[in-house]
Amino acid sequence: MLTIIDYSMGNLHSVGNALDRLGVPYTVSASPEAIKNADGLILPGVGAFPDAVRCLKEKGLFGPIRARAAAGTPLLGICLGMQLLFETGLEHMPTEGLGLIAGEVVPIDGHGEKIPHIGWNSLTLDADDPIFAGVPDGAFVYFVHSFRAQTAPAHLLAHTFYGEEIPAVVKGMGKVYGMQFHPEKSHDVGLRLLSNFCRMIENGGTRK
């Protein structure tokens, strides 16, 4: 079962609608037990990094998310949810992230572009990965964000350009993925990416 993690800061309705369109069964839960028993996890997010970390910890979700990722459970972080996968966020103040991907989250410079970055941008695929099955290089997806990840090339699967290079799809240990854009708002390309992630869950058999 796929579980969308509800920590009071995610765009749950849009993600759920996208999964409904794909015919993928899922639950929405803030329960640590649901996370511990999930075959796959989606961590959405809208808002500020420190507030999100506080909410995750208050609900007792920080440890279970880390544990499921370490056990090989497919995990997809979306927008702020992707940023939370990193070691540190520098929004307002340095804040510890989940630490599932090496790196930190920093403000977008933009070099003259408007911040926040809102709109459609193309993906440049930097690595061959099953998450991109059926997704062409140059496909457009929808972004809404003011911060970006700063990480090693080994974790970078795709980037976009908005005044500077911005990591768009990242990968950590096992089956930990992050998408800075909103796949649930990115039409057919986004649905394809979500479908590819769900296929990993179906084929994974990761629950132990």
Let me know: does 30 contact 5? Beta carbons within 8 Å: yes
Catalytic position from the list 55, 145, 184, 198: 184
Catalytic position from the list 55, 79, 155, 159: 79
Identity of residue 171: K
Residues 6+ apart with CB under 8 A from 122: 138, 139, 140, 160
111 is known as an active-site residue: no
159 is known as an active-site residue: no
Measuring CA to CA, which residue among 100, 103, 7, 107 is closest to residue 53? 7
Catalytic position from the list 117, 155, 159, 182: 182
Complete DSSP assignment for 134-159: T--TT-EEEEEESEEEE--GGGEEEE
For residue 31, with 0-12 CB atoms within 10 Å meaning exposed, 13-18 middle and 19 or more buried, which class applies? Answer: middle
79 is known as an active-site residue: yes
Identity of residue 188: D
Residues 6+ apart with CB under 8 A from 20: none
Q: What are the catalytic residues?
A: 79, 182, 184
